[in-house]
Amino acid sequence: MGDKTRVGILFGGRSVEHSISLRSAENISQFIDRDKFDPTLIGIDLNGNWFLMDEVSKHIAQGQPLNFKLSTSNPTLINSKTGQLIQIDVGFPVLHGTNGEDGSIQGFLKTFDIPCVGTGVLGSSISMNKKVSKKLLENEGIPVAKYQCYTSNQKIEINYLHLVDTLGSPFIVKPESLGSSVGISKVKSESEFTEALEECFRFDSGMIIEEFIVGRELECSILGNDKAKATRPGEIKVNKSYDFYTFDAKYVDPEAAELSIPADVDEKIQNLVKDLSLKSFKALCCEDYARVDLFLRENGDVVVNEINTIPGFTNSSMFPKLWENEGTSYSNLITTLIILAKERFQNQNAVIKRYESSLD
C-alpha cells in the first residue's frame, strides 16, 4: 500500500452548533480507517482561530496555534509555536452551521486546491439558506411547506393575523440560515409570536415562517454524485412532552426522541421519499453526501423540509445510522466519503482553467 492520505478533520467553528460539531468529529476521528488515512485534527475556536489538536476536545485554544501558507502550489499549515509544516491531502469539514456548512470553509479550501469532503461552495450556500433552497425546490416541482420570508429590517411589517390567514395556526418561526433547531419556535398565539421574533432575530438577520405540518418526521441519507444513492427512510418519533424536535430533544434529553430505522412505511412511501430526496440533492447542487428531512402528512403526501450538507455524525445521528442499516459501517462510510471527494476533485481539475487569446 502506498502512502496514507493525509486528512484534515476540521471541527468546532464560529457557530451556535459548535458543540455538536465536536461530537460529530469525535466519531469521525474514532472510526476513520488509520490503515488508509493519516488524520490531522484541526480545531477552530469560537473566534475563528485554528489549532492543531491531539484529540477532539472542547478546549480548542489549548492546542497548538496554526497559520496558513498562502500557496496554491504547496498549501501548508504551519505550527506557530514549533514552525512544523503540516500538509493535508483532503479537507474533511465537520463544521455544522454558520462558517462551516454555508460554503465559507469550502471556498477557503477550494482557493488553495485542496479536495474537500462534501458539497462545494454553491450547493453549501444555497442549501444553508432556507429561503433560497425552498424556492429552488419549488422550481423543480418538489413539494415544500407553505412559507413566508422576512429580514430583521422588515420586523415592524410582520403581521401575526396575516400569517395565520396565510399559513394557519400554529406555525413555525425559524432563522433563515441555522440548523439544529437553534432559534426555532412553535407559535400558537400572538404573545408567543412576539417572543419568537425576538428569539429568531437574536441568531439571524433572516427569518422564514412556515406552516406547522401535522405528520411524521422522516429522514433519508444520500451518498454519491453522478450515481448517488438513497437509503430507506428513518423516522424520528418525538416524545409528546415536546412541541417539536427541539435542540434539547436532539442532543440533551436521551428520552426525548426515538429513532425508527427503517421507518415503518409501505414500499410506495419509501420509494417516494427516496425519489424526492435524490431530486432535492440534485436540485440544490449537493455533492458527496447529505441528509434530507421530510414530513409525511396524514393524507400520505410527502413534503421536503430541508437538506443538510454536513449531517451529524454523533452516536444518535440519523445519517450514519441509516447507512449502517443498509450494511455500510461508520468506518467504510468515512472511507467512501474521502474517496468521493478525491474523485470529484480530479474530475473538476480536468477542465481547462486558462484561455489563451490575443489579449495575453
Q: pLDDT digits over 45-91, tens only?
A: 999 999 999 999 999 999 999 988 776 667 788 888 888 888 899 99
Q: Quote the pLDDT of residue 155.
A: 83
User: What pLDDT band is residue 282 in, cutting at 50, 70 and 90?
Assistant: very high
- Kindly report the CATH class assigned to 5-116: alpha beta
For the chain, give every residue range classified as CATH 3.40.50.20.
5-116
Q: Quote the pLDDT of residue 321.
A: 95
Q: Quote the pLDDT of residue 1.
A: 44
User: What pLDDT band is residue 281 in, cutting at 50, 70 and 90?
Assistant: very high
Coil vs helix vs strand at 12: strand
User: What pLDDT band is residue 242 in, cutting at 50, 70 and 90?
Assistant: low
For the chain, give every residue range classified as CATH 3.30.1490.20.
146-211
Q: Between 318-325 and 330-348, two packed helices, what is the crossing angle to 10 degrees?
A: 100
Is residue 206 a contact partner of residue 19, using CB atoms and an 8 Å limit? no
Q: Quote the pLDDT of residue 241.
A: 65
Residue 162, pLDDT above cutoff 90: yes
How confident is the model over 203-220, as pLDDT tens digits? 888 889 999 999 999 999
Q: Which three cell numbers stand for residue 93?
A: 469539514
Paired sense of beta strands 171-175 and 76-79, if any: unpaired
For the chain, give every residue range classified as CATH 3.30.470.20.
137-141+214-328
How confident is the model over 292-342, as pLDDT tens digits? 999 999 999 999 999 999 998 887 789 999 999 999 999 999 999 999 999
How confident is the model over 124-149, as pLDDT tens digits? 999 999 999 999 999 999 999 999 99
> What ranges in the chain are assigned the alpha helix state H?
18-31, 104-111, 121-128, 130-139, 160-167, 190-203, 247-251, 267-283, 318-325, 330-348
Cross-strand pairs, 221: 291
Q: Provide the CATH number for the domain formed by 137-141+214-328 in this structure.
A: 3.30.470.20
Residue 152, pLDDT above cutoff 90: no
* CB-facing half-sphere around the CA of 247: CA atoms within 13 A: 14
Assign domain 146-211 to its CATH architecture.
Answer: 2-Layer Sandwich (3.30)
User: What pLDDT band is residue 2 in, cutting at 50, 70 and 90?
Assistant: low
* Reported pTM: 0.89
Residue 200, pLDDT above cutoff 90: no
| Rounded Cα distance, 144 and 124, in Å | 19
Q: Which residues of 160-177 are buried (b: 16+ CB within 10 A; e: fewer)?
A: beebeeebeebbbbbbbb
